[in-house]
Amino acid sequence: MRIEDNKGESASIKHLVFAYYVTGHGFGHATRVVEVVRNLISAGHDVHVVTGAPDFVFTSEIQSPRLFLRKLVLDCGAVQADALTVDRLASLQKYSETAVQPRDSILATEIAWLNSIKADLVVSDVVPVACRAAAEAGIRSVCVTNFSWDFIYAEYVMAAGLNHRSIVWQIAEDYSHCEFLIRLPGYCPMPAFRDVIDVPLVVRRLHKSRNEVRKELGIGEDVKLVILNFGGQPAGWTLREEYLPSGWLCLVCGASDTQELPRNFIKLAKDAYTPDLIAASDCMLGKIGYGTVSEALAYKLPFVFVRRDYFNEEPFLRNMLEYYQSGVEMIRRDLLTGHWKPYLERAISLKPCYEGGINGGEVAAHILQETAIGKNYASDKLSGARRLRDAIVLGYQLQRVSGRDVSIPEWYTNAENELSLSTGSPTHKMTETIPVLDSFTGDFEIVHGDHQGLPDTMSFLNCLVELDNVYVAEKNSEKRQMRERKAAAGLFNWEEDIFVTRAPGRLDVMGGIADYSGSLVLQMPIREACHVAVQRNHPSKQRLWKHALARQNAKGQGPMPVLQIVSYGSELSNRSPTFDMDLSDFMEGEKPISYERAKQYFAQDPSQKWAAYVAGTILVLMKELGVRFEDSISLLVSSAVPEGKGVSSSASVEVASMSAIAAAHGLSISPRDLALLCQKVENHIVGAPCGVMDQMTSACGEANKLLAMVCQPAEIVGLVSIPNHIRFWGIDSGIRHSVGGADYGSVRIGTFMGRAMIKAIASTTLSQSVSTANGVSPDELDNDGLELLEAEASLDYLCNLAPHRYEALYGKLLPESMVGEKFLEKYTDHGDTVTVIDKKRTYAVTAAAKHPVYENFRVKAFKALLTSANSDEQLTALGELLYQCHYSYSACGLGSDGTDRLVQLVQEVQHCKSSKGCEDGTLYGAKITGGGSGGTVCVIGRNSLRSSQSILEIQQRYKKATGYLPFIFEGSSPGAGKFGYLRIRRRNSPKSN
How far apart are alpha carbons 704 and 708 in whole angstroms?
Answer: 13
Whether omega for the bond prior to residue 126 falls within 30 degrees of 0, making it cis, is yes
**746 and 646 within one domain:** no
Task: Quote the distance between the C-alpha of residue 944 and its chain's center.
Answer: 32
Give the HSE-up count for residue 181: Cα atoms under 13 Å, Cβ half-sphere: 24
Residue 738: closest CA among 833, 676, 647, 675: 647
**Which H or E run contains 467?**
helix 455-475
**215 and 139 within one domain:** no
Domain end (from 663, 691, 722): 722
- Read off the CATH number of the domain in which 318 is found: 3.40.50.2000
Residue 147: closest CA among 309, 28, 323: 28
**Which H or E run contains 592?**
strand 591-592
- Read off the CATH number of the domain in which 716 is found: 3.30.230.10
DSSP bridge pairs for 533? 500, 636
Which residue range(s) make up the domain with 321?
Answer: 210-349
**291 and 174 within one domain:** no
Buried residues in 562-585 as b, exposed as e (16+ CB within 10 A):
bbbbbbbbbbbbbbbbbbbbbbee
**214 and 197 within one domain:** no
- Read off the CATH number of the domain in which 874 is found: 3.30.70.890
**pLDDT at position 791, please?**
92
**157 and 23 within one domain:** yes
Indicate which residue of 75, 580, 694, 743 is catalytic.
694
927 assigned to some structural domain: yes
435 assigned to some structural domain: no
**62 and 164 within one domain:** yes
Residue 641: closest CA among 982, 975, 218: 975
How far apart are alpha carbons 892 and 753 in whole angstroms?
Answer: 14
405 assigned to some structural domain: no
643 assigned to some structural domain: yes
pLDDT in tens, 599-658: 998 887 655 778 899 999 999 999 999 999 999 999 999 999 988 788 989 999 999 999
How far apart are alpha carbons 763 and 767 in whole angstroms?
Answer: 6
**pLDDT at position 307, please?**
73
Whether omega for the bond prior to residue 54 falls within 30 degrees of 0, making it cis, is no
Q: What's the per-residue H, E or C state across 207-250? A: CCCHHHHHHHHCCCCCCEEEEEECCCCCCCCCCCHHHCCCCEEE
511 assigned to some structural domain: yes
**pLDDT at position 302, please?**
97
The ranges of the chain with pLDDT < 70 are 1-14, 81-83, 155, 157-163, 165, 231-236, 309-310, 331-334, 379-442, 469-483, 546-547, 550-551, 554, 570-576, 605-607, 736-742, 772-784, 913-920, 989-993
Q: Contact 50/109 with Cβ under 8 angstroms?
A: no
Specify the number of domains making up the chain.
4
**154 and 106 within one domain:** yes
Please list, in sequence order, all residues whose beta carbon lies within 8 angstroms of the beta carbon of residue 565, skipping any fewer than 6 positions away.
Answer: 578, 579, 580, 611, 614, 615, 634, 635, 636, 637
Please list, in sequence order, all residues whose beta carbon lies within 8 angstroms of the beta carbon of residue 544, skipping any fewer than 6 positions away.
Answer: 552, 562, 564
3 assigned to some structural domain: no
Q: Contact 710/717 with Cβ under 8 angstroms?
A: yes
Residue 265: closest CA among 292, 233, 296, 294: 233
Q: Is 694 a catalytic residue?
A: yes
Q: Contact 666/681 with Cβ under 8 angstroms?
A: no
Q: Contact 773/850 with Cβ under 8 angstroms?
A: no
**942 and 925 within one domain:** yes
**639 and 689 within one domain:** yes
Count Cβ atoms below 10 Å from residue 293 Cβ, excluding itself: 29
Please list, in sequence order, all residues whose beta carbon lies within 8 angstroms of the beta carbon of residue 645, skipping any fewer than 6 positions away.
Answer: 732, 736, 737, 935, 936, 967
Identity of residue 600: Q
648 assigned to some structural domain: yes
Count Cβ atoms below 10 Å from residue 381 Cβ, excluding itself: 11
**924 and 900 within one domain:** yes
Please list, in sequence order, all residues whose beta carbon lies within 8 angstroms of the beta carbon of residue 203, skipping any fewer than 6 positions away.
Answer: 32, 35, 275, 294, 295, 298, 358, 360, 361
**182 and 58 within one domain:** yes
How far apart are alpha carbons 860 and 511 in whole angstroms?
Answer: 10
DSSP bridge pairs for 448? 983
Identity of residue 28: G
**284 and 135 within one domain:** no
**pLDDT at position 965, please?**
85
Q: Contact 975/491 with Cβ under 8 angstroms?
A: no
**pLDDT at position 481, please?**
38
159 assigned to some structural domain: yes
Q: Contact 188/316 with Cβ under 8 angstroms?
A: yes
